[in-house]
């Protein structure tokens, strides 16, 4: 039973649509992450929030826009996506950002861009 939930689990959208992914963690953690997972590729870190402040933005295109209203919730707003953005989007949380911090993952949102 995971302490990190994500909605929706599956999403199909056209390139002109706007949608949002939601992540919620029930673990009392202070750091939250967005990852992109494509088939047979390493997890790609997209954004990191520590105590609601964005600390990392790994050259992610502006069509992806994160929002972290509090330490328990994280959103990823999507607009004018491309077919190559189709992937599994994983949210994770950890107590803080640090070397030994175990990250706990949500089940992901499977996104298909047509």
Partner 1 sequence: GQNIDQPTEMTATEGAIVQINCTYQTSGFNGLFWYQQHAGEAPTFLSYNVLDGLEEKGRFSSFLSRSKGYSYLLLKELQMKDSASYLCAVTDSNYQLIWGAGTKLIIKP
Tell me if 97 contacts partner 1 by CB under 8 A. yes
Tell me if 60 contacts partner 1 by CB under 8 A. no
- Residue pair 24/4 in contact by the 8 Å Cβ criterion: yes
Instruction: Indicate the residue among 13 and 97 with the shorter CB distance to partner 1.
Output: 97
Say how many C-beta atoms besides its own lie within 10 A of residue 82's C-beta. Answer: 10
Tokens 């953690």, located at residue:
29
Q: What is the DSSP letter of 18?
A: E
Tell me if 1 contacts partner 1 by CB under 8 A. no
Tell me if 106 contacts partner 1 by CB under 8 A. yes
Of 63, 59, 65, nearest in space to 81 by CA:
63
Instruction: Indicate the residue among 22 and 79 with the shorter CB distance to partner 1.
Output: 22
Interface positions with partner 1 (CB under 8 A) = 2, 4, 40-45, 48, 56, 90, 97-100, 102-108
């Amino acid at each position: 039973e995971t302490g990190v939930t994500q909605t929706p689990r599956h999403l199909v959208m056209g390139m002109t649509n706007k949608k949002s992914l939601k992540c919620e963690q029930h673990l009392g953690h202070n750091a939250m992450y967005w990852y992109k997972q494509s088939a047979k590729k390493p997890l790609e870190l997209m954004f990191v929030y520590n105590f609601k402040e964005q600390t990392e933005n790994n050259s992610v295109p502006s069509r992806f826009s994160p929002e972290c209203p509090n330490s328990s919730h994280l959103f990823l707003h999507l607009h004018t996506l491309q077919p190559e953005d189709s992937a599994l989007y994983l949210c994770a949380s950890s107590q803080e950002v640090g070397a030994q911090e175990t990250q706990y993952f949500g089940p992901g949102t499977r996104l298909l861009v047509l």
